[in-house]
Structure 1
Amino acid sequence: MGKIKRLLLDTLKPLKGLSIIDIAKEIVDMEGLGRVTIKVDEMDVETVTLSIIVEGDDIDFEKLKAALEERGVVIHSIDEVTAEKE
């Protein structure tokens, strides 16, 4: 089975909560990840819409999703995925 190498996620997080710097620093330490890029797309009164790009050798989407949810980040959609053969 192939390995996920890159994901582009459309996400939402509360305005009050971890900063995008803290989220990136915590997520990049996950097994299989090598790079995390977070961009603020929109700010509302209570929420922030983020584009999160994760890159690595073997991204475990379910673990990534759980880690983001633990930090108050909800995935709206997977907008792009890159996978490669093992």
Structure 2
Amino acid sequence: MARGIRLLVLDVLKPHQPIVTELALGLSEIQGVEGVNITLVEIDKETENIKITIVGDNLDYDEIVRTIEEFGGVVHSIDMVAAGKRIIEESETPQDKLEEF
């Protein structure tokens, strides 16, 4: 049996307030969410660019976006998604090696 979306990595822009701990706790309350990591990527005078990693079972993307928006954030992109019975680790490809040059 498939377990739906299990991992999401999102690039998000948010104002300084509310603080990321409040956003993390808000996201952790969503049904199916087992864990939330938020990493500060960049900060300027009025906003913060953050990376949000969420793991769980049958993650509801729309509910996650609604929650982020309730905290004043905007999703810029989905940087990674995993679905199915298990999460597969990313592996290096020949194209990745070309990026080194």
Please give the range of the TM-score, normalised by the shorter of the 2 chains. Answer: over 0.9
5+ long unaligned stretches in structure 2:
86-101
* Identity within the alignment, %: 36
Larger strand proportion, structure 1 or 2?
1
Q: Does 1:28 align with 2:12?
A: no
Q: Secondary structure of the equivalent of 1:55?
A: strand
- Report which structure shows greater RCO (CA 8 Å, sep ≥6): 1
- For 1:6, the equivalent position in structure 2 comes to 7
Q: Distance in 1 between matches of 2:48 and 2:62?
A: 22
5+ long unaligned stretches in structure 1:
none
Task: Return the TM-score normalized by structure 1.
Answer: 0.92
Task: Return the TM-score normalized by structure 2.
Answer: 0.79
Whether the aligned pair in 1 keeps the contact of 2:3 and 2:57 (CA below 8 Å) is no
Q: What is the Cα deviation at residue 43 of structure 1?
A: 0.3
Q: What is the root-mean-square deviation of aligned Cα atoms in Å?
A: 1.2
Q: Distance in 2 between matches of 1:2 and 1:58?
A: 6
- For 1:53, the equivalent position in structure 2 comes to 53
Q: What is the Cα deviation at residue 79 of structure 1?
A: 0.3
Matched residues, number: 84
**4+ residue runs over 6 A deviation:** none
